[in-house]
């Protein structure tokens, strides 16, 4: 028992070493049905145009924005405010999706271009008036911010 516990603790201590340099191969993209793909393409267009008003129309009235490093916001006006300074190059790709009746989700990756993912996202969706709207947009980057990376390394 004692050898097992010692082995376990040694394994746990070594488990985190070197992870910062390992970059797994990107997960493959999946094709979306046209109605779901429209959500991603409309999002890209509005983001590239620096158009927070257009972005907010992709969300359900009570939709959430759950952005990396910021408190959650809810509602179209709060979405507009949250995205007021957002925009620029953006490429979205789907990794998985599902729908059941009027609810669904898309799990995906994003980057400044289609070849390099810099983060990942989950969109939860609901169908309203014949089109899919975002009920929650949660995203985060693939890399620790420098200060967080230092903290995470020292806490392992």
What's the whole-model pTM score?
0.77
Domains and CATH numbers, the chain: 28-141 (3.10.450.50)
- Measured between alpha carbons, how far is residue 105 from residues 8, 63, 66 in Å? 38, 13, 15
pLDDT along the chain (156 residues), means of 10: 50 51 76 98 97 97 93 96 94 97 97 91 96 96 68 48
């Amino acid at each position: 028992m004692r050898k097992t516990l010692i082995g376990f603790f040694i394994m746990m201590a070594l488990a985190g070493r070197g992870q910062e340099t390992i970059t797994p191969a990107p997960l493959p993209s999946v094709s979306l049905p046209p109605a779901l793909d429209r959500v991603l393409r409309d999002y890209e267009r509005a983001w590239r145009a620096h158009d927070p008003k257009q972005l907010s129309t992709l969300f359900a009235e009570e939709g959430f924005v759950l952005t990396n490093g910021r408190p959650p916001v809810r509602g179209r006006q709060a979405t507009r405010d949250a995205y007021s300074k957002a925009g620029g190059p953006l490429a979205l790709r789907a990794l998985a999706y599902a729908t059941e009746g009027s609810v669904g989700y898309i799990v995906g990756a994003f980057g400044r271009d289609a070849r390099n993912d810099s983060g990942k996202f989950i969109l939860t969706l609901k169908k309203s008036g014949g089109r899919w709207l975002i009920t929650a947009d949660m995203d985060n980057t693939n890399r620790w911010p420098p200060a967080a990376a230092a903290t995470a390394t020292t806490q392992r």
